Structure 1
Amino acid sequence: MINKKHVKEILYLLNSVEELYFAEICNNIPEAHKGSINRTLQELYDFKMVSKREEGTAKLSKTFYSITDLGKESLKFYELEKEVETKYNITE
């Protein structure tokens, strides 16, 4: 899951704030298609790496996302990856 496209950006983004709603996440990752972000968020939710809550009525609802403890733990993999790349001078 953590190697999927945009997962890293979404987790770091959610880790930097208390919560964001879908449009705010999309605005912060402009190179990603909204459908792709939506699928990724659903997968992150299914894997319990993010939580979500809905606010408003059925027609005017906003879904807010926040990172879970598991999501925060997953960020350690990205930090380890960066550390290894730096140590061994690996570039993409």
Structure 2
Amino acid sequence: MTDVIRKSVKKQINNFDFTCDKELTLSMFSGKYKMAILVILYNQKQMHFSELQNNIPESTKQVLSQQLKELIQDNLITKSEYHDNNKRRTIYTLNSVGASLIPLFVDMQNWGKNYIDKNFSDN
């Protein structure tokens, strides 16, 4: 889903004019690498930006940063900062709202596996 749809959904929510639950749900994790970020944080509990980038090597810093900002704005992940040897460090953590999407991802993965098995197997 594009940023245009995300902005449209946000506008509808802000105007209390939201009628499509599916669109809202998809807008929460649609975007480049958002689903991957959520799953990585679910499995690792918390990570620094550089660790996330190492886990998604095809991402650029700019795109990864934008996706993280959107996930924070949508209240799916939490950003915490602390100081370590006079250096500011940032940790990203999946919160309970973001974790509630994981069963959806598992269902989507299972659906995809079943679809492939039924439509592309050599049977």
What TM-score comes out, normalization by structure 2 length? 0.65
Q: Secondary structure at the match of 1:32?
A: coil
Higher helix share: 2
Instruction: Give the corresponding residue for 2:55.
Output: 28
What are the Cα deviations for residues 21-78 of structure 1, in whole angstroms up to 9, with x where unaligned?
A: 1111111111000111111111111111101110118x83111000011111112221
Q: Secondary structure at the match of 1:83?
A: helix
CA distance in 1, matches of 2:109, 2:51: 27
Deviates more, 1:75-84 or 1:45-54: 75-84
CA-based RMSD? 1.9
Unaligned runs of 5+ in 1: none
Q: Percent identity?
A: 24
What TM-score comes out, normalization by structure 1 length? 0.85
Equivalenced residues, count: 90
Unaligned runs of 5+ in 2: 1-27
Is 1:62 aligned to residue 89 of structure 2?
yes
Counterpart residue identity of residue 7, structure 1: K
Instruction: Give the corresponding residue for 1:48.
Output: 75
Q: Secondary structure at the match of 1:30?
A: coil
Higher relative contact order (CA closer than 8 Å, sequence separation 6+): 1
Greater gyration radius: 2
Corresponding residue to 2:109 among 73, 82, 87:
82
Q: CA deviation at 1:6?
A: 0.3
